[in-house]
């Protein structure tokens, strides 16, 4: 009994345990979403979106109406709001939680942000597939293979 935590320490212990569980859930979720199996699925979805059936589209893509765009945006918002546990919504409050996701969703409407995001993802993918890229020796040998002067380009 004398080694048990005092009443003043119990809320801290409970909060620490809750934070650890939440952090562990987040860590496992991110690990699952970024595992090789999911990357294959993501790349297949992107490939099918860009090259339906393995060929580039010959005709222009059907233009969606504003109502269809708004419906899709609302559906995406509902999906995003279900992404995190209810605890986050309870802590932030439902309106702030919805506005946070709405802001994130609105940011994807900006072509500059989208372009930057694609470049960042491409950069991460390249670094994952070819971990030697940051090494100067690798860059020199790559430039030499391409017939470029590495001293001039890397200076």
What gap in Å lies between CA 31 and CA 99, rounded to an integer? 27
Contact of 143 with 154, CB cutoff 8 Å: yes
CA dist., res. 88 & res. 100, Å (int): 11
pTM: 0.43
pLDDT at 146: 74
What number of helices (H) and strands (E) belong to the chain? 8, 0
Per-residue pLDDT, 75 = 92
pLDDT tens for 74-86 read 999 888 888 888 8
User: How far is it between the farthest Cα atoms of the chain?
Assistant: 78
């Amino acid at each position: 009994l004398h080694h048990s935590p005092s009443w003043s320490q119990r809320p801290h212990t409970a909060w620490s345990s809750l934070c650890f569980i939440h952090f562990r859930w987040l860590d496992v979720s991110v690990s699952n979403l970024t595992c090789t199996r999911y990357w294959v699925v993501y790349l297949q979805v992107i490939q099918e979106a860009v090259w339906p059936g393995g060929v580039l589209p010959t005709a222009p893509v059907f233009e969606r109406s504003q109502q269809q765009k708004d419906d899709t945006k609302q559906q995406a918002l509902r999906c995003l709001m279900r992404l995190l546990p209810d605890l986050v919504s309870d802590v932030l409050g439902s309106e702030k939680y919805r506005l946070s996701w709405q802001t994130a969703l609105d940011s994807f409407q900006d072509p500059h942000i989208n372009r930057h995001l694609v470049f960042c993802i491409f950069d991460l993918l390249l670094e994952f597939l070819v971990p030697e890229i940051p090494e100067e020796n690798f860059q020199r040998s790559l430039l030499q293979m391409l017939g470029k002067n590495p001293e001039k380009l890397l200076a």
